[in-house]
Amino acid sequence: MSPRREEHPWGRQTQPACLLELILHGWRNPAVPKAKEFGAKAMAQVCDICGKGPQFGNNISHAHNVTRRRWSVNLQAVKALVNGAPKRLRVCASCIKSGKIAKA
């Protein structure tokens, strides 16, 4: 006999019988942000206009010790007009300077 669930006074079931039921019925871990679930894209260091992202390379010391490093894009949070409505975008400084966006 499988373990029974407790009945809620209004007929809703509150306690699942097993971990598999938790997973199957859409329980989500509150410690994991929603952006990381179900293949959703998390916010990255990428310009929303030109798609410019970080570049990777090496630090080379005077003794020629080589370690990996990364050059980040100069991203700025800008409120710009998109289809006539203001929207918050992450845009690189070169796109702002070249006038590729219209600030709101």
Instruction: Quick: pLDDT tens for 87-96.
Output: 999 999 999 9
For residues 34 and 61, membership in a common domain is answered with: no
CA 61 to chain centre: 34
38 has a pLDDT exceeding 60: no
pLDDT on residue 104: 84
Angstrom distance (rounded) from CA 24 to CA 14: 15
For residues 25 and 53, membership in a common domain is answered with: no
For residues 49 and 85, membership in a common domain is answered with: yes
51 has a pLDDT exceeding 80: yes
33 has a pLDDT exceeding 80: no
**Residues near 91 by Cβ (< 8 Å), separated by ≥ 6?**
47, 48, 49, 75, 76, 78, 80, 100, 101
Helix/strand/coil for 22? helix
For residues 6 and 56, membership in a common domain is answered with: no
H or E element at residue 97: helix 93-97
Angstrom distance (rounded) from CA 53 to CA 44: 8
Higher pLDDT among residues 64 and 14, named by residue:
64
pLDDT on residue 96: 94
| Token duo for residue 38 | 């179900």
Supply the range of the domain harboring residue 91: 44-104
- What is the value of pTM for the model shown? 0.56
For residues 70 and 104, membership in a common domain is answered with: yes
For residues 26 and 57, membership in a common domain is answered with: no
Count of structural domains within the chain: 2
For residues 49 and 100, membership in a common domain is answered with: yes
